[in-house]
Amino acid sequence: MLFIRSFMILFLCYMTIRINLCFSSNPYSLRTLSVDGHFSFDEVHHAAEDFGNMFQLLPLAVLYPKSVSDIATTIRHIWKMGPNSELTVAARGHSHSLQGQAQAHQGVVINMESLQGPKMHVYTGNYPYVDASGGELWIDILRECLKYGLAPKSWTDYLHLTVGGTLSNAGVSGQAFRHGPQISNVHHMEVVTGKGEVLNCSEKQNSDLFHSVLGGLGQFGIITRARISLEPAPDMVRWIRVLYSDFTTFAADQEHLIGAETTFDYIEGFVIINRTGLLNNWRSSFNPQDPVQASQFHSDGRTLYCLELAKYFNRDTADALNEEVGNSLSQLRYITSTLFQTEVPYIEFLDRVHVSEVKLRAKGLWEVPHPWLNLLIPKSKINDFADEVFGNILTDTSNGPILIYPVKKSKWDNRTSAVIPEEDIFYLVAFLTSAVPSSTGTDGLEHILTQNKRILEFCEIARLGMKQYLPHYSTHEEWKAHFGPRWEVFSQRKSTYDPMAILAPGQRIFQKAISFS
């Protein structure tokens, strides 16, 4: 009897432990967490969608945090579950991901835009900065900073993105040749790691975490707050467009401008394929320098290259503007009849893409598949790339804008996780395509994906030294090749800050190890 009683006690203790383990590893244990915000377990379908509209991975729950503590509590809870739980966590900003990077299949998606905390604070001293939430939109940061006559230095072309989202990649636009990407203009961050730790980091405090998270694709922590460098904001922008028919001249002029002592504040190029009546379309917003010559210009379906430039100025210094712009333009070799200019308020220029978004939404053309492809091409290979891609692969139409402009490696910090080519100057080439749903033609998703594959295969075969920006790979080996000699550091950082591989599963870099015992 004593033996039987002892056995029953041990058995009941064992069952109690098993039940507790099962409960703690049960995803619905999230319901027991005490958070300031709330979880949604029913309305989760929106979190399985993004701008790319090609991946739909349903999460188990969506967290709407009111505090950083909510995020830390949730991650810490999942971390403590250990390998018995399949739960992962993805931070979702304004859902502008392209390949499901901000999704978490049967995991937890954190809606960063609901994060509340200290209000945005603009410091106006000798070295101005703004402290902002990781879920804050860049357009709202711009509006707040302009109240103090200030603005961030580096931008993306589209401002309706969150701080945490762009800093987890790089954040690149036409100002990057001068100021570097957005990740080169951050002083300090608050980060929640894959263990649920809330850490402050900067160049001097937790510096390895600081550099890991910048450009880290969300692998090491969720950015909950960032301190961003500011500069005096101009009143107005002189916005200029000119055309080239020869790619080599077009590229050489861009390289000249980013290296000139006196130059423009924004420099981007884009490729125009088979666009008739192009200059007539420009007339709605831009004024031709020579209306007669402009009216006689015909593109004849040719591939053309547009150089887009901007010079910032204040109204009280407008007199010197014409001379500065004229001197810079005189050094370029564009088609003289295609010089178009206009002047707009600074905020209108920076938020220019949003105007197109409103028009596309009104036509039902915004929420379509976007099989974008973003590449970084070394300067020494850009002509080879252009000859093949614009001469042989993309010949009829581009299905969307194609950006192409040079940036300087010296403006990027090689301690961050961002991966760039080895050369001192490299080009961002962005194929910003849109697919027509259900189409089987050249504007359909399958055709565009096939073109993207041909471009990537050419880069590989020709050994261009290309790196993907906003990278997407499907195998572990491809990711290792992407990072190259930096893979070991990247992998070690993952082991340090997110050893269970809880964070950002949608990137498909690391897979959470699950125990089925």
Q: Which residues are marked as active site? A: 96, 157, 268
CB-neighbour burial class of residue 378 (10 A; exposed 0-12, middle 13-18, buried 19+): buried
- Dist. CA 261–CA 258, nearest whole Å: 8
Helix (H) or strand (E) holding 358: helix 352-362
| DSSP assignment string, 52-103 | T-S-----SEEEE-SSHHHHHHHHHHHHHHGGG----EEEESSS--SSSTT-
| DSSP assignment string, 283-340 | TTT-EESSHHHHHH---TT-EEEEEEEEEEE-GGGGGGHHHHHHHHHTT----GGG-E
CB-neighbour burial class of residue 262 (10 A; exposed 0-12, middle 13-18, buried 19+): exposed
Three-state SS for 239-266 is EEEEEECCHHHHHHHHHHHHHCCCCCCE
Picking from 176, 64, 131, the residue whose alpha carbon sits closest to that of residue 430 is 176
Percentages helix, strand, coil for the chain (3-state, rounded to 5) are: 40, 20, 40
User: In Å, what is the CA distance from 310 to each residue of 198, 234, 240, 249, 505?
Assistant: 40, 12, 6, 20, 39
